[in-house]
Amino acid sequence: MSAVYTTLAIDIGGTNIRLGLLTANSLRPNYIKTFKINEFAGLAEVIELFLSSAPPHQITQAAIDVATPVTQDTIKLTNHTWTFSIRGICQHFGFERLKVINDFTAMALSIPLLEPSELKQVGGGTADPDGAIALLGAGTGLGVSGLIRSAAGWYPLSGEGGHVTLGARNARELAIFAAFWDKYGHMSAERLLSGTGLEEFYQVICHLDGKTPEPLQPAAISGRAIAQTCPACMETMTLFCEWFGIVAANLTLSLGATGGVYIGGGIVPNLGDYFIQSGFRAAFETKGRFTRYMQQVPVYIMDADNPALRGAAAALNQRFDKIGLSCTS
């Protein structure tokens, strides 16, 4: 007789929502399903659909990671119109316990659970086993987090580092960034290092060159850049990789992340060798007097299935009670 699932883990991004089930004492979700957020009115509708066709289950606890700050009962996604009440979801489904954390906090919690085969190293030396770890990843938005070593083990950081301000390195970048300043009054890292950012950056580059942009999705922009069939796409992705290196390096220096830099999200892992052979690593290491320091820091691309789901489930451990918000019935 197969075990009955007792835990539900949910990963809510800006585009997709993933749900997985765990048995008691399990660390890795299975029976995982992915849905498009735009196809549903709200979170409860997705959970109901998922559970209606799930294997035998008696859910007593659930963990949700979400692409937005988790500071109050009402959760609103940063890059989508969805909102939900933590207490409302807990009561609606009769969960004994519901835990909600930031999606990149969940991603950080997954790092110690990854196998070596789920990582691709991009330069650098050997990680300091006790050094802080930096994490960032581009998808619909740009997530940033990290891990620090405590007496009880690794502990995640919660922040919104994807919204730090960028500064141009040359006249061309200044012209590009100025278009974002004129529109938003702020040039954040997420405006470039995200799916929505790639689309808008491509359009800005076309306009600066006096050309009419095509209605390209991020995958088409990166695809044309890799195939070298579109100069605007090629410039967009060149800037993406270089600025990813710059932002990753700034995070590394801020955290003293000698334990390594981990890259997740939906964009970079899918770029494969293009990213590895890009200007990312050179931009990452170019830090003046700290260039040698940066050259020693390893960078790892997370080539893993649903790491945020694993991290969300891990957040149910009592060690992480003070992370995010919880509701009990």
Task: Specify the pLDDT at position 299.
Answer: 98
Q: What is the mean pLDDT of the chain?
A: 94
What is the Cβ-side half-sphere exposure of residue 288, based on CA atoms within 13 angstroms? 3
What is the pTM assigned to this prediction?
Answer: 0.92
Between the CA atoms of 100, 16, 69 and 248, what dihedral angle is there, to the nearest 10 degrees? 120
Give the model confidence (pLDDT) of 134-143 as tens digits: 999 999 889 9
Enclosing H/E stretch for 47? helix 43-52
What is the average per-residue pLDDT within 271-298?
Answer: 97
Task: Specify the pLDDT at position 13.
Answer: 86
Annotated binding site for ATP: 10-15
What is the Cβ-side half-sphere exposure of residue 164, based on CA atoms within 13 angstroms? 17
Residue 1 in this model has a pLDDT that exceeds 60: no
Residue with tokens 């035998």: 56
Annotated binding site: 10-15
What is the Cβ-side half-sphere exposure of residue 170, based on CA atoms within 13 angstroms? 3
Task: Specify the pLDDT at position 2.
Answer: 66
Is the pLDDT higher at 159 or at 174? 174
Domains and CATH numbers, the chain: 5-103+307-328 (3.30.420.40), 115-303 (3.40.367.20)
